[in-house]
Structure 1
């Protein structure tokens, strides 16, 4: 009997790999220029199978795009003597600068709570907030505020029924990325699920980078702040002089 265990262990990967993702991206790089006003990423792919489509529950697809994560300080304002002032603050340990999740059906139908907890798919799970100071009441409201503000800026998106799936084999979706993107690598994950359980997953990344004049100014501000300040001052003086000259020309 002990000789059967190695054989069974070898069979497990083949059983779990019955359906696999073959992915394509319309672009794997996004260039941020001075005229950048957003970009649409088309994600498409197919399901590779070694056996016929399993009977029973239909296959579902979940796709997420995650921007660089960083801590966020959230402040709460209170009215004190007719003046609004910051009274409380909480640091959210890690929040993606951009996050989008698209599905073939309502999220609650395609992914169980257990799988969501394991893979951190929903926006609430993608944000990490360990805890707040003991004197802070309703600390969860601070995390909710981050989600609300970034939803309003199109930085957090939930696109239920946003993926088209043909014959349980070909899938595609388009995700709009706004103009106010943070530079960095954007992790892209694809999950295949049945009965709310993940049966296969695939991960790649999209590089978002500043290019041209935008990139040069950004690098100058970080590596040569003195000369960046001098350049900014010179541009401001030139702009002021040009506006004054134009005004005098119009009056004459």
Structure 2
């Protein structure tokens, strides 16, 4: 009976699912946010390990997804009432990625089935709509669409179809640009091998993003020694005011 079940499971898997595996590398596994940080790029590269020649009937495709830390987001809609713009309704997304980028070897609609997209939450709509939502409106989807549209315009959500280079169905690479306003935390990198729209293999890696140098010192001080941080801020403000006043007096002479 056990042998029969194993045979049925193997038969149910897509062709080549047990023969192709991802071997991955990243150009860096950590990003330091300093005072002069203006963004960076992560090189994602790797190869496909096989136990047998690849099938010739359907090409292999690669999808790379980079996902930032999840944070709660409140999306508000403004309506004009008596000439004044006021908040009329809001939707609270309890957990949405602060950054989300997808790079592929081809059009997502052609290389990824809807079933596997819902299963692995790869595309932006699948990643966003899968999180919990509390709404004050009967149409929360329009607010989620607005969130995606705003973050796409700012570069924090994007899909780069065709940006993954795949050579001889074996070697692949792509560059993922990270914006300057990164949220501190763990960024998840996921790589998917697909054939005929079905996911054959998945590999995950993490990239740590944290403040460094003076920014790290000030951030830690403000969180762990809030009183001292406040006193230092007050002293610096007084010193700056006194210095400006002294300079003004010198210039008047």
The normalised TM-score by structure 1 is: 0.92
- Helix, strand or coil: the match of 2:221? helix
Alignment of 1:112-123 (within 5 A): 112-123=113-124
Where in structure 2 are the equivalents of 1:37-186 lying within 5 Å? 37-127=38-128, 128-133=130-135, 136-186=137-187
User: How far apart, in 2, do the equivalents of 1:83 and 1:3 lie?
Assistant: 70
Q: 1:160 & 1:10 partners in 2: Cα distance? A: 33
1:8 is matched with 7
Q: C-alpha separation between the residues in 2 aligned to 1:80 and 1:180?
A: 34
Q: Aligned pairs, how many?
A: 250
Alpha-carbon offset, residue 71 of structure 1: 1.4
CA contact (8 A) 2:100 2:157 kept: yes
Deviation string, structure 1 residues 23-76 (Cα, Å, up to 9, x no partner): 011100000111111111111100011111211110000000000102111111
Question: Is the CA contact 1:129–1:143 (under 8 Å) kept in the aligned structure 2?
Answer: no
Partner of 2:27: 26
**1:115 aligned counterpart, secondary structure:** helix
Contact 2:16 2:200 in 1 (8 A): no
The residue number in structure 2 matching 1:196 is 197
Alpha-carbon separation, structure 1, partners of 2:168 and 2:199: 19
Change (3 A) 1:73 1:10: closer
> CA, structure 1 residues 131+217, in 2 after alignment: closer, same or farther (shift >3 Å)?
closer
Looking at structure 1, the residues matched to 144 and 8 of structure 2 have their Cα atoms a distance apart, in angstroms, of 42
**Aligned 8 A contact 2:80 2:86 in 1:** yes
The alpha-carbon distance between structure 1 residues 153 and 3, as it changes in their structure 2 partners (threshold 3 A), is: closer
> C-alpha root-mean-square deviation of aligned residues, in Å?
2.0
1:60/1:194 contact within 8 Å kept: yes
- What TM-score, normalized by structure 2, do the two folds share? 0.92
Query: How many angstroms does 1:3 deviate by?
Result: 6.3
1:63–1:188: 8 Å Cα contact kept in structure 2? yes
Shift of 1:238: 2.1
In structure 1, how many angstroms separate the alpha carbons of the residues matched to 2:108 and 2:251? 61
1:140: how far off? 1.1
Take 2:177 and 2:209, find their aligned partners in 1: how far apart are those partners?
Answer: 14
Q: Which runs of 5+ in 1 are unaligned?
A: none
Query: In 1, are the aligned partners of 2:70 and 2:97 still within 8 Å (CA)?
Result: yes
Question: SS at 1:16's partner residue?
Answer: coil
